[in-house]
Amino acid sequence: MNKEQILEALKTVKYPGIDRDIISFGFVKDVLIQGDSVKILLQISTKDPANVRKIEDEVRATVQKLSGVKSVELDSSLSKAERSPEKGPDPWAGRAPIPGVKNIIAVASGKGGVGKSTVAVNLAVALRELGYRIGIMDSDIYGPSLPIMMGLHQRPLAQGNQIIPLEKDGMKLMSVGFLLDDKAPVIWRGPMVTQMVQQFLRNVRWGDLDFLVIDLPPGTGDTQLTLVQTCPLSGAIIVTTPQDVALVDARRGLEMFNKVNTRVLGIVENMSYFHCPHCGGRTDIFGSGGGERVAAELGIPLLGEISLDPAIREGGDSGNPIVQADPESPQTKAFKELAIRVAGLLESSPV
Ligand SMILES: Nc1ncnc2c1ncn2[C@@H]1O[C@H](COP(=O)(O)OP(=O)(O)O)[C@@H](O)[C@H]1O
Ligand SMILES: [Mg+2]
Protein backbone atom coordinates (compact mmCIF):
# COMPACT_ATOMS: atom_id res chain seq x y z
CA MET A 1 0.00 0.00 0.00
CA ASN A 2 1.37 3.42 -0.91
CA LYS A 3 0.29 7.04 -1.03
CA GLU A 4 -0.69 6.91 -4.72
CA GLN A 5 -3.06 3.99 -4.12
CA ILE A 6 -4.72 5.83 -1.28
CA LEU A 7 -5.10 9.03 -3.32
CA GLU A 8 -6.51 6.97 -6.17
CA ALA A 9 -9.06 5.38 -3.85
CA LEU A 10 -10.01 8.79 -2.46
CA LYS A 11 -10.95 9.93 -5.94
CA THR A 12 -14.13 7.91 -5.47
CA VAL A 13 -15.19 10.11 -2.57
CA LYS A 14 -17.50 12.81 -3.89
CA TYR A 15 -18.43 16.13 -2.34
CA PRO A 16 -21.93 15.57 -0.93
CA GLY A 17 -24.52 16.32 -3.61
CA ILE A 18 -21.96 17.21 -6.26
CA ASP A 19 -20.48 14.93 -8.85
CA ARG A 20 -16.94 16.01 -8.17
CA ASP A 21 -14.36 14.26 -6.04
CA ILE A 22 -12.55 15.59 -3.02
CA ILE A 23 -9.11 15.19 -4.64
CA SER A 24 -9.99 17.55 -7.47
CA PHE A 25 -11.32 20.02 -4.91
CA GLY A 26 -7.90 19.88 -3.24
CA PHE A 27 -9.37 18.80 0.11
CA VAL A 28 -6.75 16.12 0.73
CA LYS A 29 -3.62 17.91 1.87
CA ASP A 30 -1.41 14.98 2.84
CA VAL A 31 -1.31 11.24 3.39
CA LEU A 32 1.14 9.75 5.87
CA ILE A 33 1.72 6.01 6.08
CA GLN A 34 3.33 4.27 9.03
CA GLY A 35 3.26 0.50 8.82
CA ASP A 36 -0.40 -0.40 8.58
CA SER A 37 -1.76 2.89 9.90
CA VAL A 38 -2.68 5.80 7.71
CA LYS A 39 -3.04 9.43 8.66
CA ILE A 40 -4.85 11.77 6.31
CA LEU A 41 -4.76 15.55 6.49
CA LEU A 42 -7.98 17.08 5.25
CA GLN A 43 -8.86 20.68 4.55
CA ILE A 44 -12.50 20.77 3.63
CA SER A 45 -14.05 24.10 2.76
CA THR A 46 -17.78 24.17 3.21
CA LYS A 47 -20.29 26.12 5.22
CA ASP A 48 -22.26 23.09 6.31
CA PRO A 49 -20.53 21.18 9.15
CA ALA A 50 -22.58 18.14 8.20
CA ASN A 51 -20.65 17.97 4.92
CA VAL A 52 -17.34 17.77 6.79
CA ARG A 53 -18.62 14.81 8.78
CA LYS A 54 -20.03 13.12 5.69
CA ILE A 55 -16.74 13.46 3.84
CA GLU A 56 -14.73 12.30 6.87
CA ASP A 57 -16.91 9.22 7.27
CA GLU A 58 -16.58 8.32 3.64
CA VAL A 59 -12.84 8.90 3.59
CA ARG A 60 -12.42 6.66 6.64
CA ALA A 61 -14.60 3.90 5.18
CA THR A 62 -12.88 4.07 1.79
CA VAL A 63 -9.35 3.85 3.15
CA GLN A 64 -10.26 1.25 5.76
CA LYS A 65 -11.36 -1.06 2.95
CA LEU A 66 -7.93 -1.06 1.28
CA SER A 67 -5.86 -4.12 1.93
CA GLY A 68 -2.94 -3.56 4.26
CA VAL A 69 -4.69 -0.78 6.17
CA LYS A 70 -5.45 -1.40 9.80
CA SER A 71 -6.14 1.99 11.28
CA VAL A 72 -7.14 5.31 9.76
CA GLU A 73 -6.69 8.60 11.52
CA LEU A 74 -8.05 11.85 10.14
CA ASP A 75 -6.80 15.32 10.90
CA SER A 76 -9.44 17.74 9.81
CA SER A 77 -8.44 20.69 11.98
CA LEU A 78 -7.72 22.88 8.97
CA SER A 79 -11.28 22.34 7.80
CA LYS A 80 -12.57 23.93 10.95
CA ALA A 81 -10.44 27.02 10.42
CA GLU A 82 -11.98 27.40 6.99
CA ARG A 83 -15.42 27.32 8.48
CA SER A 84 -14.80 30.00 11.07
CA PRO A 85 -17.21 32.90 10.64
CA GLU A 86 -14.54 35.58 10.34
CA LYS A 87 -13.52 34.04 7.03
CA GLY A 88 -16.83 35.13 5.51
CA PRO A 89 -19.29 33.09 3.48
CA ASP A 90 -18.17 29.86 1.91
CA PRO A 91 -17.39 30.56 -1.75
CA TRP A 92 -18.39 27.05 -2.83
CA ALA A 93 -21.73 26.89 -1.09
CA GLY A 94 -23.84 27.33 -4.20
CA ARG A 95 -21.73 25.33 -6.61
CA ALA A 96 -23.68 22.71 -8.54
CA PRO A 97 -23.53 21.29 -12.05
CA ILE A 98 -26.05 22.29 -14.71
CA PRO A 99 -28.45 19.39 -15.13
CA GLY A 100 -28.06 17.84 -18.60
CA VAL A 101 -24.76 19.59 -19.39
CA LYS A 102 -21.86 17.14 -19.41
CA ASN A 103 -18.90 19.48 -19.81
CA ILE A 104 -18.47 23.18 -19.19
CA ILE A 105 -15.42 24.72 -20.83
CA ALA A 106 -14.34 28.28 -20.14
CA VAL A 107 -12.34 30.13 -22.77
CA ALA A 108 -10.26 32.76 -21.02
CA SER A 109 -7.47 35.20 -21.69
CA GLY A 110 -5.35 37.64 -19.75
CA LYS A 111 -6.30 40.58 -21.94
CA GLY A 112 -8.77 41.58 -24.61
CA GLY A 113 -8.33 41.43 -28.34
CA VAL A 114 -6.33 38.20 -28.44
CA GLY A 115 -9.14 36.38 -30.24
CA LYS A 116 -10.80 34.67 -27.32
CA SER A 117 -14.29 35.00 -28.74
CA THR A 118 -13.06 33.91 -32.16
CA VAL A 119 -11.48 30.80 -30.65
CA ALA A 120 -14.52 30.07 -28.46
CA VAL A 121 -16.97 30.23 -31.37
CA ASN A 122 -14.85 28.28 -33.85
CA LEU A 123 -13.99 25.67 -31.23
CA ALA A 124 -17.70 25.29 -30.54
CA VAL A 125 -18.53 24.88 -34.23
CA ALA A 126 -15.68 22.38 -34.64
CA LEU A 127 -16.97 20.36 -31.68
CA ARG A 128 -20.43 20.39 -33.25
CA GLU A 129 -18.90 19.08 -36.49
CA LEU A 130 -17.51 16.19 -34.45
CA GLY A 131 -21.10 15.36 -33.53
CA TYR A 132 -21.33 16.86 -30.06
CA ARG A 133 -24.33 18.81 -28.77
CA ILE A 134 -23.13 22.33 -28.18
CA GLY A 135 -24.10 25.50 -26.37
CA ILE A 136 -22.21 28.78 -26.39
CA MET A 137 -22.54 31.22 -23.54
CA ASP A 138 -21.10 34.66 -24.12
CA SER A 139 -20.51 36.12 -20.67
CA ASP A 140 -18.73 39.28 -21.76
CA ILE A 141 -21.14 41.88 -20.44
CA TYR A 142 -19.00 44.80 -21.64
CA GLY A 143 -18.24 43.53 -25.11
CA PRO A 144 -20.54 40.70 -26.16
CA SER A 145 -19.39 39.17 -29.46
CA LEU A 146 -21.80 36.34 -30.08
CA PRO A 147 -24.54 38.37 -31.84
CA ILE A 148 -22.10 39.52 -34.53
CA MET A 149 -20.03 36.35 -34.71
CA MET A 150 -23.11 34.18 -35.19
CA GLY A 151 -25.12 36.82 -37.07
CA LEU A 152 -28.04 36.75 -34.65
CA HIS A 153 -29.90 39.75 -33.35
CA GLN A 154 -33.15 38.34 -32.00
CA ARG A 155 -34.35 38.52 -28.46
CA PRO A 156 -34.65 35.19 -26.67
CA LEU A 157 -38.07 34.24 -25.32
CA ALA A 158 -38.79 33.68 -21.67
CA GLN A 159 -40.96 30.98 -20.23
CA GLY A 160 -41.73 31.43 -16.56
CA ASN A 161 -38.35 32.17 -15.00
CA GLN A 162 -36.53 30.32 -17.79
CA ILE A 163 -34.88 31.88 -20.82
CA ILE A 164 -35.05 29.88 -24.03
CA PRO A 165 -31.63 30.21 -25.68
CA LEU A 166 -31.46 31.15 -29.34
CA GLU A 167 -30.60 28.34 -31.71
CA LYS A 168 -28.51 28.47 -34.84
CA ASP A 169 -26.88 25.72 -36.86
CA GLY A 170 -27.85 23.23 -34.18
CA MET A 171 -26.19 25.13 -31.35
CA LYS A 172 -27.83 26.82 -28.36
CA LEU A 173 -26.67 30.39 -27.92
CA MET A 174 -26.92 32.92 -25.14
CA SER A 175 -25.37 36.37 -24.89
CA VAL A 176 -26.02 39.52 -22.98
CA GLY A 177 -25.96 41.11 -26.43
CA PHE A 178 -29.30 39.42 -27.19
CA LEU A 179 -30.85 41.12 -24.17
CA LEU A 180 -29.23 44.53 -23.93
CA ASP A 181 -29.23 47.38 -26.31
CA ASP A 182 -25.76 48.17 -27.70
CA LYS A 183 -26.17 51.59 -26.19
CA ALA A 184 -26.81 50.45 -22.61
CA PRO A 185 -24.19 52.39 -20.69
CA VAL A 186 -21.25 50.49 -19.31
CA ILE A 187 -21.88 51.93 -15.85
CA TRP A 188 -25.12 49.92 -15.62
CA ARG A 189 -23.45 46.72 -16.61
CA GLY A 190 -20.89 46.25 -13.82
CA PRO A 191 -23.37 45.60 -11.00
CA MET A 192 -25.24 43.11 -13.21
CA VAL A 193 -22.31 40.79 -13.79
CA THR A 194 -22.86 38.34 -10.96
CA GLN A 195 -26.58 38.06 -11.58
CA MET A 196 -26.11 37.64 -15.32
CA VAL A 197 -23.62 34.80 -14.95
CA GLN A 198 -25.81 32.98 -12.47
CA GLN A 199 -28.91 33.46 -14.59
CA PHE A 200 -27.18 32.30 -17.74
CA LEU A 201 -26.06 29.15 -15.97
CA ARG A 202 -29.15 28.42 -13.93
CA ASN A 203 -32.11 29.94 -15.76
CA VAL A 204 -31.30 29.30 -19.39
CA ARG A 205 -32.89 26.15 -20.73
CA TRP A 206 -29.73 24.62 -22.18
CA GLY A 207 -31.19 21.14 -22.41
CA ASP A 208 -28.86 18.20 -22.97
CA LEU A 209 -25.41 19.33 -24.06
CA ASP A 210 -22.08 17.61 -24.41
CA PHE A 211 -20.21 20.89 -24.19
CA LEU A 212 -21.17 24.31 -23.01
CA VAL A 213 -18.43 26.66 -24.24
CA ILE A 214 -18.23 29.85 -22.22
CA ASP A 215 -16.62 32.93 -23.72
CA LEU A 216 -15.27 34.92 -20.77
CA PRO A 217 -14.39 38.60 -20.67
CA PRO A 218 -10.64 39.24 -20.47
CA GLY A 219 -8.79 39.12 -17.17
CA THR A 220 -9.67 37.70 -13.80
CA GLY A 221 -12.64 39.71 -12.60
CA ASP A 222 -16.12 39.20 -11.21
CA THR A 223 -17.41 37.15 -14.13
CA GLN A 224 -14.65 34.58 -13.75
CA LEU A 225 -15.11 34.41 -10.00
CA THR A 226 -18.88 34.06 -10.19
CA LEU A 227 -18.56 31.39 -12.84
CA VAL A 228 -16.19 29.16 -10.85
CA GLN A 229 -18.30 29.65 -7.74
CA THR A 230 -21.55 28.76 -9.48
CA CYS A 231 -20.58 25.66 -11.45
CA PRO A 232 -17.86 23.05 -11.44
CA LEU A 233 -15.98 23.67 -14.70
CA SER A 234 -14.60 20.72 -16.64
CA GLY A 235 -11.70 22.84 -17.73
CA ALA A 236 -10.43 26.17 -18.90
CA ILE A 237 -8.58 27.10 -22.06
CA ILE A 238 -6.32 30.12 -22.09
CA VAL A 239 -6.00 32.01 -25.36
CA THR A 240 -2.82 33.97 -25.90
CA THR A 241 -0.88 35.63 -28.69
CA PRO A 242 2.76 34.87 -29.42
CA GLN A 243 4.41 38.03 -28.06
CA ASP A 244 6.57 37.55 -24.99
CA VAL A 245 4.50 39.99 -22.96
CA ALA A 246 1.47 37.75 -23.38
CA LEU A 247 3.16 35.17 -21.15
CA VAL A 248 2.60 37.35 -18.10
CA ASP A 249 -1.13 37.53 -18.79
CA ALA A 250 -1.40 33.84 -19.53
CA ARG A 251 0.31 33.04 -16.24
CA ARG A 252 -2.10 35.26 -14.33
CA GLY A 253 -5.00 33.38 -15.88
CA LEU A 254 -3.45 30.04 -15.00
CA GLU A 255 -2.88 31.12 -11.40
CA MET A 256 -6.47 32.21 -11.01
CA PHE A 257 -7.84 28.87 -12.22
CA ASN A 258 -5.33 26.97 -10.08
CA LYS A 259 -6.43 28.91 -7.03
CA VAL A 260 -10.03 27.85 -7.51
CA ASN A 261 -9.14 24.23 -8.32
CA THR A 262 -10.21 24.49 -11.92
CA ARG A 263 -8.29 22.39 -14.37
CA VAL A 264 -6.56 24.32 -17.13
CA LEU A 265 -6.66 22.12 -20.23
CA GLY A 266 -3.96 24.14 -21.97
CA ILE A 267 -3.28 27.20 -24.02
CA VAL A 268 -4.17 28.14 -27.57
CA GLU A 269 -1.86 30.43 -29.43
CA ASN A 270 -3.88 32.66 -31.69
CA MET A 271 -2.44 34.83 -34.45
CA SER A 272 0.56 32.50 -34.29
CA TYR A 273 1.78 33.37 -37.76
CA PHE A 274 0.53 35.21 -40.81
CA HIS A 275 -1.08 33.08 -43.43
CA CYS A 276 -0.76 35.06 -46.68
CA PRO A 277 -3.96 34.70 -48.70
CA HIS A 278 -2.08 35.62 -51.89
CA CYS A 279 0.97 33.41 -51.86
CA GLY A 280 -0.17 30.89 -49.23
CA GLY A 281 3.12 31.37 -47.39
CA ARG A 282 3.71 31.53 -43.66
CA THR A 283 5.32 34.50 -41.90
CA ASP A 284 6.15 34.34 -38.21
CA ILE A 285 5.41 37.94 -37.36
CA PHE A 286 6.24 37.64 -33.69
CA GLY A 287 8.93 34.98 -34.02
CA SER A 288 8.15 31.31 -33.83
CA GLY A 289 7.61 28.87 -30.99
CA GLY A 290 6.23 31.46 -28.55
CA GLY A 291 3.21 29.35 -27.65
CA GLU A 292 5.34 26.29 -27.11
CA ARG A 293 7.67 28.17 -24.80
CA VAL A 294 4.78 29.60 -22.82
CA ALA A 295 3.16 26.21 -22.48
CA ALA A 296 6.42 24.58 -21.38
CA GLU A 297 7.12 27.33 -18.89
CA LEU A 298 3.64 27.09 -17.40
CA GLY A 299 3.67 23.31 -17.47
CA ILE A 300 0.45 22.98 -19.47
CA PRO A 301 -0.18 21.61 -22.96
CA LEU A 302 -0.19 23.74 -26.10
CA LEU A 303 -3.56 22.76 -27.54
CA GLY A 304 -3.33 24.53 -30.86
CA GLU A 305 -1.86 27.26 -33.00
CA ILE A 306 -4.20 29.40 -35.09
CA SER A 307 -2.81 31.59 -37.84
CA LEU A 308 -3.52 35.27 -38.34
CA ASP A 309 -5.71 35.26 -41.39
CA PRO A 310 -8.14 37.82 -42.84
CA ALA A 311 -10.61 35.01 -43.53
CA ILE A 312 -10.89 34.36 -39.78
CA ARG A 313 -11.81 37.99 -39.11
CA GLU A 314 -14.23 38.05 -42.04
CA GLY A 315 -15.92 34.93 -40.72
CA GLY A 316 -16.31 36.62 -37.34
CA ASP A 317 -17.66 39.85 -38.77
CA SER A 318 -20.13 38.22 -41.13
CA GLY A 319 -21.75 35.86 -38.66
CA ASN A 320 -20.33 32.82 -40.40
CA PRO A 321 -17.38 31.38 -38.45
CA ILE A 322 -14.58 30.11 -40.66
CA VAL A 323 -15.01 26.49 -39.53
CA GLN A 324 -18.46 26.68 -41.07
CA ALA A 325 -17.75 29.09 -43.93
CA ASP A 326 -14.72 27.28 -45.31
CA PRO A 327 -14.64 23.68 -44.08
CA GLU A 328 -11.58 22.75 -46.14
CA SER A 329 -9.32 25.65 -45.15
CA PRO A 330 -6.13 25.09 -43.13
CA GLN A 331 -7.57 27.34 -40.39
CA THR A 332 -10.59 25.07 -40.10
CA LYS A 333 -8.25 22.12 -39.85
CA ALA A 334 -6.40 23.83 -36.98
CA PHE A 335 -9.68 24.48 -35.12
CA LYS A 336 -10.81 20.89 -35.68
CA GLU A 337 -7.55 19.55 -34.30
CA LEU A 338 -8.04 21.79 -31.29
CA ALA A 339 -11.56 20.42 -30.84
CA ILE A 340 -10.36 16.83 -31.05
CA ARG A 341 -7.69 17.52 -28.46
CA VAL A 342 -10.10 19.22 -26.07
CA ALA A 343 -12.71 16.49 -26.41
CA GLY A 344 -10.00 13.87 -25.93
CA LEU A 345 -8.69 15.49 -22.77
CA LEU A 346 -12.13 15.64 -21.22
CA GLU A 347 -13.29 12.21 -22.27
CA SER A 348 -10.14 10.46 -21.16
CA SER A 349 -10.14 11.95 -17.71
CA PRO A 350 -13.51 12.59 -16.13
CA VAL A 351 -13.81 15.67 -13.94
N1 LIG B 1 -6.57 34.33 -36.04
C2 LIG B 1 -7.11 35.50 -36.41
N3 LIG B 1 -6.88 36.01 -37.64
C4 LIG B 1 -7.42 37.20 -38.01
N5 LIG B 1 -8.20 37.95 -37.24
C6 LIG B 1 -8.48 37.47 -36.00
C7 LIG B 1 -7.96 36.23 -35.52
N8 LIG B 1 -8.41 36.04 -34.26
C9 LIG B 1 -9.19 37.10 -33.97
N10 LIG B 1 -9.24 37.96 -34.99
C11 LIG B 1 -9.95 39.25 -35.07
O12 LIG B 1 -9.43 40.08 -34.02
C13 LIG B 1 -10.48 40.83 -33.40
C14 LIG B 1 -10.52 40.48 -31.92
O15 LIG B 1 -10.90 39.13 -31.76
P16 LIG B 1 -11.91 38.64 -30.61
O17 LIG B 1 -12.15 37.21 -30.83
O18 LIG B 1 -13.10 39.54 -30.57
O19 LIG B 1 -10.98 38.89 -29.35
P20 LIG B 1 -11.31 38.87 -27.77
O21 LIG B 1 -12.57 38.10 -27.58
O22 LIG B 1 -10.11 38.22 -27.17
O23 LIG B 1 -11.43 40.30 -27.37
C24 LIG B 1 -11.74 40.45 -34.15
O25 LIG B 1 -11.98 41.41 -35.14
C26 LIG B 1 -11.42 39.10 -34.78
O27 LIG B 1 -12.16 38.87 -35.95
MG1 LIG C 1 -14.41 38.71 -26.79
**CA nearest ligand 1 atom 1, residue:** 308
For a substitution probing ligand 1, which of 118, 123, 214 has the most ligand atoms within 8 Å of its CB?
118
What pLDDT does 166 receive?
98
Strand order in the sheet with 71-75: 28-34, 37-42, 71-75
Which atom in ligand 1 lies closest to the alpha carbon of residue 311? Answer: 4
Is domain 101-348 given the CATH code 3.40.50.300 in the classification?
Answer: yes
pLDDT tens by residue, 331-343:
999 999 999 999 9
What pLDDT does 242 receive?
84
Virtual CA dihedral for 304, 307, 310, 316, nearest 10 degrees? 10
Helices and strands, counts by H and E, the chain: 14, 14
For a substitution probing ligand 1, which of 214, 238, 313 has the most ligand atoms within 8 Å of its CB?
313
Which atom in ligand 1 lies closest to the alpha carbon of residue 121? Answer: 17
pLDDT tens by residue, 294-304:
888 888 999 99
What pLDDT does 338 receive?
97
pTM of the predicted protein model: 0.75
Is domain 3-87 given the CATH code 3.30.300.130 in the classification?
Answer: yes
- Quick one: average pLDDT of 109-127? 95
Rounded to the nearest angstrom, the distance between the alpha carbon of 153 and the centre of ligand 1 is: 20
| Spans of all domains in the chain | 3-87, 101-348
**CA nearest ligand 1 atom 12, residue:** 115
How many Å apart are CA 13 and CA 56, to the nearest integer?
10
Backbone phi and psi for residue 249, each to the nearest 5 degrees, phi listed first? -70, -40
Ligand 1 pocket residues where CB is under 6 Å: 109, 112-118, 145, 270-271, 306, 308-309, 312-313, 316
pLDDT tens by residue, 132-150:
999 999 999 888 999 999 9
